[in-house]
A and B are shown apart, each in its own frame.
Chain A
Amino acid sequence: DVKVTQSSRYLVKRTGEKVFLECVQDMDHENMFWYRQDPGLGLRLIYFSYDVKMKEKGDIPEGYSVSREKKERFSLILESASTNQTSMYLCASSPPGLAGTDTQYFGPGTRLTVL
């Protein structure tokens, strides 16, 4: 079974703090994704990566950056957290090939609250 893990289930941070969300997958997948999920808005893609050190902006990259130094790990960084970044953050990975053409396996999510 594919396993995608995220470093925290719940996180509370203060406005202006730097926040790191970590995601690790154990299936040697090339493609990894970060989404945020908000009520009524579904899942919105923040960034994705199709290889180590490669990254592509999704639909809402503003205020976020990412890092992919190793194949199995994809980190989402909030340089200066703001209250409008309070959300559920979901990481996903998928097998090789065009990023949108195969099943995505999701981690359990991190519910981030920014005070």
Chain B
Amino acid sequence: GQQVMQIPQYQHVQEGEDFTTYCNSSTTLSNIQWYKQRPGGHPVFLIQLVKSGEVKKQKRLTFQFGEAKKNSSLHITATQTTDVGTYFCAGMDSSYKLIFGSGTRLLVRP
């Protein structure tokens, strides 16, 4: 079946450093969504990208959708301790189901 691979699995950074997580799909996606799950919490929607090559920003977070709509990335500039959590991408497959990546757990050293 369709898979969405997400790397890295873990990232441990010093506060102020940048962070990036990547998602890759085996097939073209109709859209991609990003979610954040704080420790002990549940996933919370961050953003959705639909167009090929789309770039969206939310303060220090930059989201990109690849030209072929098979990959996406989330980049955080100058991480803060409040960024700690697991970031999931989720791509919509041809049967309109969201396929979640395995997530990237971000740890930030103060």
Contacts and interface: CB of A to CB of B under 8 A. Distances in A.
- In terms of DSSP, what is the predominant structure of the interface of chain A? loop
B44 A42 contact: no
Contacts of A74: none
Contacts of A101: 30-31, 92, 96
| Chain B: interface size category | 20 to 34
B89 to A, nearest CB: 9
A48 interface: yes
Given A40-B9, A59-B99, 20 more contacts: A40-B102, A42-B6, A42-B103, A43-B100, A45-B98, A45-B99, A45-B100, A90-B43, A92-B43, A98-B96, A99-B98, A100-B31, A100-B92, A100-B96, A100-B98, A101-B30, A102-B48, A103-B48, A104-B98, A106-B43
Interface of B: 1, 6, 9, 30-31, 33, 35, 41-45, 48, 88, 90, 92-93, 96-103
